[in-house]
Homo-oligomer: A and B are copies of this chain.
């Protein structure tokens, strides 16, 4: 009855005998606890967060509901393995388009071992994390009717430049996502990003909390954005737009300091999305990739 979710766009997948999350089709997702510290850390975060009275309900709604841990046969065929029992965030959405955006210029936590920091720092520099304050980890975008999904492949996503990210955020809300090299039409931008309960409004709500909260520092956490194209095309209220936070294996206590790393990246993402709403038809000019000095700038 349990099966791999068809809506996963990043992280370990339960295919070809590997460990990965499973869904029950009735609203729950079972996430394999990773054997190292990460699994224990994520379970501890969910347990702490879900009972923390300082988190207001409208903020809690951005997080997957947590229903404890459970021993289940693992997706790789090995014996019983502990799983986090979480809300399936895509439950009830028909063929959702999804994009996974890892927030923060810095994906490593300050107390991490040196070799871990070096590895993350290299990846943050090689991807757009350091430059933009976030990177896209994966996406799948419904192409309408029975045309299935357009998915950039994982290697291509890893090599995304700032301009690729700008384009992907437009493709995500376009009726012609695969229109390379032509421009994506941003047909659903106002319905998905712009509505009063759309992505931008939800990100701004999240931002207001991050300007104030000093409880947690969310390293390497993703914003998962999704919507159902059919609902948007049918102009159904909400369009199935959901904004959620996922992947809490590297959350640290805030110790009275705001999460300036997450907040900075979130503000950068907000600016990218605002610009799509301001200039949905903007021609994507080729940017200069060189490091520019001001020496000729007077």
| A261 at interface, CB cutoff 8 A | yes
Q: How far does the Cβ of A238 sit from chain B's closest Cβ, in whole Å?
A: 27
Among A255-298, those with CB < 8 Å from B are: 255-258, 260-261, 263-265, 267-268, 270-271, 287-288, 291-295, 297-298
| A223 at interface, CB cutoff 8 A | no
Decide: A260 near B253, CB < 8 A? Known: A110-B131, A298-B47: no
Q: Which of A252, A268, A294 has the most B CB atoms < 10 Å from its CB?
A: A294
Tell me the bound Cα distance from A41 to B264 in angstroms: 25
Tell me the bound Cα distance from A291 to B37 in angstroms: 14
The chain B residue with its CB closest to the CB of A262 is B264
Q: Are A111 and B255 in contact (CB under 8 A)?
A: no
Tell me the bound Cα distance from A264 to B263 in angstroms: 6
Q: How far does the Cβ of A260 sit from chain B's closest Cβ, in whole Å?
A: 3
Decide: A271 near B253, CB < 8 A? Known: A44-B295, A298-B51: no
Decide: A251 near B294, CB < 8 A? Known: A256-B162, A271-B214: yes
Tell me the bound Cα distance from A260 to B293 in angstroms: 20
Q: Are B267 and A260 in contact (CB under 8 A)?
A: yes
The chain B residue with its CB closest to the CB of A165 is B257
The chain B residue with its CB closest to the CB of A268 is B260
4 more contacts with CB within 8 A, not counting A162-B255, A214-B271, A263-B264, are A47-B297, A47-B298, A133-B257, A257-B271
Tell me the bound Cα distance from A255 to B111 in angstroms: 32
Q: Mark A109-134, 1 if CB is under 8 A from B, else 0.
A: 01100000000010001000011110
Count of chain A residues near B, Cβ 8 A: 46
| A106 at interface, CB cutoff 8 A | yes
Q: Which residues from chain B contact A287 at a C-beta distance below 8 Å?
A: 255-256
| A40 at interface, CB cutoff 8 A | yes
Q: Are A255 and B288 in contact (CB under 8 A)?
A: yes
The 4 closest A-B pairs by CB, nearest first: A264-B264, A260-B264, A48-B297, A44-B294
The chain B residue with its CB closest to the CB of A50 is B298
Q: Are A125 and B105 in contact (CB under 8 A)?
A: no
The contact of A271 among B110, B132, B211, B268, by CB within 8 Å, is B211
Tell me the bound Cα distance from A212 to B131 in angstroms: 16
| A45 at interface, CB cutoff 8 A | yes
Q: How far does the Cβ of A205 sit from chain B's closest Cβ, in whole Å?
A: 15
Q: Which residues from chain B contact A258 at a C-beta distance below 8 Å?
A: 133, 267-268, 271
The chain B residue with its CB closest to the CB of A216 is B294
The chain B residue with its CB closest to the CB of A255 is B287
Tell me the bound Cα distance from A257 to B130 in angstroms: 11
Q: How far does the Cβ of A140 sit from chain B's closest Cβ, in whole Å?
A: 25
